[in-house]
């Protein structure tokens, strides 16, 4: 079945074919009294259509890296290019603009708006993105179908399970057709079965062309990605393709 919305993108990467290119990324948190070197020189290149899991002990810098990848924060040093645009030097406003256009973010605690239905939650970023009402509904229903929750269109978050809420959050993150989908511990609040279910949704979206990067503590889930990047103490300890990798 051909679903135009999910067809593989040919844009979204620079001339080298990398959607993400990081070189020498350092992050120092300066709280006045103490300085924490959270990232100590990170190099990562990501091709369009990759599915990457970032793993590592607590405090190793995973969220710091995700926040920089997602343009929520800037590095102290180093270069970051997102689909050909240098983002490491941008100011807050410029970052927000890039973030809205190129990044879909999924959070551990779903962050759905409780008063809105599943469909309306998915529509939300498209309202900010000034997409017409008809197109919004069309895209949101297509996404609901893709995550297998077309029967939950009118359900409020309180009427959904954790796994279902996270799938709605994933659909919402994809609504503006981002270049990259980022998720920091997306299964952290879910039981094993729901977590595995959510991972299956990521795998399916990836096989349809989405570039996905997730952080997880769960090695069994990480192995289902195509590549695992292991962080330790602010550095990359290992970066390897899995048996699912292309
Ligand atoms: N806003 C901040 N201000 C100061 N230090 C910070 C800040 N955020 C993170 N850190 C420090 O940076 C280091 C990396 O933190 P980070 O949150 O990136 O780790 P993590 O790998 O995501 O850990 P976890 O698995 O517990 O979520 C830690 O030493 C942390 O204490
Ligand atoms: Mg973290």
What domains are defined for the chain? Answer: 4-241 (3.40.50.300)
Q: Mutation test of ligand 1: which of 28, 30, 62, 189 has the most ligand atoms closer than 8 Å to its C-beta?
A: 62
Query: What lines the ligand 1 site, CB under 6 Å?
Result: 29, 31, 36, 38, 56, 58-64
Q: What's the gap in Å between 148 CA and the centre of ligand 1? A: 35
- For ligand 1, atom 9, the nearest C-alpha belongs to 64
Q: Which residues contact 175 (CB under 8 A, 6 or more apart)?
A: 104, 122, 123, 124, 125, 126, 129, 139, 140, 143
Q: Whose CA is nearest to atom 11 of ligand 1?
A: 38
Closest ligand 1 atom to the C-alpha of 27? 12
Which residue from 162, 19, 168, 23 is spatially nearest to 103, judged by alpha carbons? 19
- What integer pLDDT is reported at residue 128 of this predicted model? 87
| pLDDT number for residue 101 | 87
pTM of the model: 0.93
The pLDDT assigned to 4 comes to 46
The ligand 1 atom at the shortest distance from the C-alpha of residue 185 is 27
Ligand 1, atom 27: closest residue by C-alpha: 58
Q: 10-residue block means of pLDDT along the chain (246 residues)?
A: 45 69 97 94 97 97 97 94 90 89 94 97 93 97 96 98 97 96 97 96 95 96 97 98 89
Nearest ligand to the CA of 183 is: 2
Distance CA 148, CA 207 (A): 16
Q: Which residue's CA is minimally distant from atom 12 of ligand 1? A: 38
Ligand 1 pocket: which of 61, 65, 107 to mutate (most atoms within 8 A of CB): 61
Task: Describe the strand order of the beta sheet including 85-86 as a list of residue ranges.
Answer: 35-47, 18-30, 77-82, 85-86
């Amino acid at each position: 079945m051909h679903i135009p919305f999910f067809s593989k993108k040919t844009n979204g990467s620079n001339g080298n074919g990398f959607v993400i290119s990081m070189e020498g990324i350092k992050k120092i948190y300066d709280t006045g009294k103490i300085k924490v070197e959270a990232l100590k020189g990170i190099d990562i290149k990501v091709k369009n259509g990759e599915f990457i899991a970032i793993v590592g002990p607590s405090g190793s810098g995973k969220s710091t890296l995700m926040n920089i990848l997602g343009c929520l924060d800037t590095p102290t040093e180093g270069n970051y290019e997102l689909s050909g645009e240098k983002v490491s030097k941008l100011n807050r406003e410029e970052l927000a603009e890039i973030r809205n256009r190129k990044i879909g973010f999924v959070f551990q605690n779903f962050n759905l708006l409780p008063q809105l239905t599943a469909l309306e939650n998915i529509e939300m970023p498209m309202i900010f993105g000034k997409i017409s009402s008809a197109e919004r509904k069309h895209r949101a229903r297509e996404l609901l179908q893709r995550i297998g929750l077309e029967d939950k269109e009118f359900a409020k978050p309180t009427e959904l399970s954790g796994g279902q809420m996270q799938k709605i959050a994933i659909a919402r993150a994809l609504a503006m057709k981002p270049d990259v989908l980022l998720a920091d511990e997306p299964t952290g609040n879910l039981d094993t079965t729901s977590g595995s279910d959510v991972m299956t949704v990521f795998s399916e979206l990836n096989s349809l062309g989405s570039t996905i990067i997730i952080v997880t503590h769960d090695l069994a889930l990480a192995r289902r990605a195509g590549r695992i990047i292991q962080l330790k103490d602010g550095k990359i300890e290992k970066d390897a393709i899995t048996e699912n990798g292309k």
